[in-house]
Amino acid sequence: MNETIPFLDYSEEHRLVLPNFIEAASRIVLSGRFALGPEVEAFETDYAASCGAKHAVAVNSGTSALVVALLAAGVGQGEEVIVPAMTFVATATAVLAVGATPVLVDVSPETFCLDVDRLPPALSDRTRAILPVHLYGQLADMSGITLFAQQHGLTVIEDAAQSHGASRSGRKAGSFGDAGCFSFYPGKNLGGAGEGGMVVTNDTNLAARAAKLRDWGQSKKGEYGLPGSNYRMDALQAAFLNLKLPLLDEWNAARRAVASQYNERLYPILSVTSRPRVDETNVFHIYPVFHRHRDRIRSALAARGVVTNVHYPKALHQQPALRGYRIAGDLAVSEMVAKEQLSLPIFPTMSSQQVDRVCHELAAVVDA
């Protein structure tokens, strides 16, 4: 019996940082300082630097990062935010959480990120912001999006929850728009030992508002200048992430090496599939393939010990929670992705034998 290939395995990465984490955790537990504090401040400084952004505000999840960024930018009641229809549900529910309304547009068939050509029909006199997502680790067309935003006076908030470290011409994910939002959920490219998130920005005013909003809107001790909530990051999370951040670039490079091997090996097998480009604009949070018989292939792979996933099985307008919001144009690409997309195993410590094995099993089931 062949070994099972997991979808994701970060045990090797974590074994590496564990001794130092135990030491840091003891220090934090004995200090009694569990929320924010010096570990969180150090992580904010280093994370901002790693993104080439002036400020970073640490929060307790990627969803909180989106909510805090929208609130800090003043997005709210009566306003519309343009969101791609193919993304994790939090991108749109964060918009609802601040009292604004998502307007769904289709994604590009090349990048599976927000399609810039779909922006003009989405515009209304209530449009306030665009929320592009760097889906699967691949950067959206940020020059097209920011140009359109400038022409129409819109705020741009990037959902960079899947794209830590992705860059184009030296600029990093999260630093193109007015603010960038990251998640440190364990399965992300930079994952914590639990929940975490970050807002990065070059806008000093937005950063100051975000820092207050995550701490109940506190402007000075005992005084609440803004109506905020508790979105604070734990010191233990920051300590863990401080140890992992220096390894991010190396681990992203390892993901690219896995993606290259998939590209090479899968081309003859899935010749209809567009191969993702392997360059610095993609950090391969997900390695997606597409097939008309996705569900059959997925179960056949499972039977052969290869664990896969689907990102995502429904486009946002097909989710009961998001029915009835305005849709600009058709959402054909998003609907195709929901039907045909399959995420193959990918993680930094995946061996070339493991990649070979996935390709071998895929070849066996694809034409069965």
Q: Using the rule CB under 6 A, give the single segment among 24-32, 88-96, 144-152, 212-220 that binds ligand PLP.
A: 88-96
**DSSP classification of residue 345:** P
* Calpha distance 316→254 (Å, rounded): 31
Query: What is the DSSP track for 287-339?
Result: EEEE-TTHHHHHHHHHHTTB--B-S-SS-GGGSGGGTTS-B-S--HHHHHHHH
Binding flags for ligand PLP, 10-49, as an x/- string (CB under 6 A): ----------------------------------------
CB 201 within 8 A of CB 207: yes
Q: For ligand PLP, how many residues bind (rule: CB under 6 A)?
A: 15
Closest separation in Å from C-beta 139 to ligand PLP: 13
Q: Which of 115, 141, 159, 234 binds ligand PLP (CB under 6 A)?
A: 159
Phi/psi of residue 227, each to 5°? Answer: -80, 95
Q: Which of 24, 56, 57, 63 binds ligand PLP (CB under 6 A)?
A: 63
Closest separation in Å from C-beta 313 to ligand PLP: 14
* Calpha distance 251→349 (Å, rounded): 8
Q: Is 86 in the site for ligand PLP (CB under 6 A)?
A: no
Q: Is 237 in the site for ligand PLP (CB under 6 A)?
A: no
Q: What is the number of the residue whose Cβ is closest to ligand PLP?
A: 62
Q: Using the rule CB under 6 A, give the single segment among 95-103, 112-120, 154-162, 207-215 that binds ligand PLP.
A: 154-162
Q: Which of 17, 51, 83, 133 binds ligand PLP (CB under 6 A)?
A: 133
Pairing status of strand 167-168 against strand 155-159: unpaired
Q: Which of 185, 216, 290, 325 binds ligand PLP (CB under 6 A)?
A: 185
Residue 171, strand partner residues: 168
Place of tokens 């803004």: 226
Q: Which of 197, 228, 288, 348 binds ligand PLP (CB under 6 A)?
A: 197
* Calpha distance 24→18 (Å, rounded): 10
Neighbour count for residue 204 (Cβ, 10 Å)? 10
Q: Using the rule CB under 6 A, give the single segment among 60-68, 119-127, 201-209, 317-325 that binds ligand PLP.
A: 60-68
* Prior bond of 312 cis (ω within 30°): yes
Closest separation in Å from C-beta 94 to ligand PLP: 8
Give the full edge-to-edge strand order of the sheet including 80-84. Answer: 55-59, 197-201, 179-183, 155-159, 127-130, 80-84, 101-105
* Calpha distance 224→217 (Å, rounded): 5
Q: Which of 37, 62, 84, 348 binds ligand PLP (CB under 6 A)?
A: 62
Q: Using the rule CB under 6 A, give the single segment among 24-32, 159-167, 259-267, 286-294 that binds ligand PLP.
A: 159-167
Q: Which of 108, 183, 242, 334 binds ligand PLP (CB under 6 A)?
A: 183
Q: Is 161 in the site for ligand PLP (CB under 6 A)?
A: yes
Q: How far is CA 27 from the centre of its chain?
A: 31
Q: Is 91 in the site for ligand PLP (CB under 6 A)?
A: yes
Q: Using the rule CB under 6 A, give the single segment among 83-91, 240-248, 250-258, 273-281 that binds ligand PLP.
A: 83-91
* Calpha distance 282→256 (Å, rounded): 8
Choice between 90 and 362, CB closer to ligand PLP:
90
Pairing status of strand 197-201 against strand 218-220: unpaired
Q: Which of 21, 43, 47, 88 binds ligand PLP (CB under 6 A)?
A: 88
User: What is the binding site for ligand PLP (CB under 6 A)?
Assistant: 61-63, 87-88, 90-91, 133, 159, 161-162, 183, 185, 195, 197
